[in-house]
Amino acid sequence: MTLPKLSSNSNIIKFLGLKKFFRSHETGVSRERIEDFKKFNKLINYGGDEVAFDILGSLNFGQATSDSDTDIVMYTRCEEGRMGECGLENCYKIALFKHMFLNLVTFEHNSQAYKLEIVDCINLNQLEKDIKDKNADSALLIRFCFYRSICRGVNRRLLHKYENMISDNLPLWEKISGSLEECFEGIIKSSQHTYSFHKYAGRLAEKGIKLPGSMTEKIKDYLKQ
């Protein structure tokens, strides 16, 4: 990522370190699903439109199995320069892209097709405006920076434009970074977050990969924060 590193936040650094470890043992299912997103991105680009994704959950950690849901953030530019928030309920492009993606998944995997959950949508029209307006209170801008700080991106080249715009405005970034730290600290305290790490460790154990003692301690140290 091109955003300034949150070097003062040890928890985010620990999170990224743990993610790197689990990604080094990536499942075949994870690789296949990432390829699906890359193929879909090429399809949309070929049609002259823009789309990018941030991947969350088990796929973000490279630990997806055939039973895993696929949670994503979708980035696109809403039709006719429309501003504001966008989603399945008010932007036909989001619904269309989801339908097209699921068709691609069915074609590629047939009986092994999987669910797609769009947990958030970022309207690039509004994102660009909020950055230019230096709107540090923009929830959309804060969410964008949060996802870019911890998620696994597909078509990151599209997103780099906005990351660079933020990086070039350090006063704006400094204001946003405080909000990001609050978001992240809230996630660490959730039981779901703790469960996820136990789940990923269990999946490695099923493959005969035992967590090194040092990594077990790092996970415990991270989760107790």
pLDDT digits over 100-155, tens only? 998 988 888 877 788 899 999 999 999 999 999 999 999 999 999 999 989 999 99
DSSP string over 80-146: GG--S---TTT-HHHHHHHHHHHHHHHHHHGGG---EEEEEEEEHHHHHHHHHTT-TT-HHHHHHHH
Over residues 11-46, the pLDDT tens digits come to 888 999 999 999 999 999 999 999 999 999 999 988
- What are the extents of the domains in the chain? 27-183
Q: Are 221 and 17 in contact (CB under 8 A)?
A: no
Alpha carbon distances (Å) from 137 to 3, 7, 129, 133: 18, 22, 13, 11
The pLDDT tens digits of the residues spanning 112-125 come to: 788 899 999 999 99
Residue given tokens 């074609």 in the structure block: 107
At 160, which amino acid appears?
H
Closest CA to 218 of 19, 1, 3: 19
- pTM, full prediction: 0.90
Q: How far apart are CA 112 and CA 106, in angstroms?
A: 8
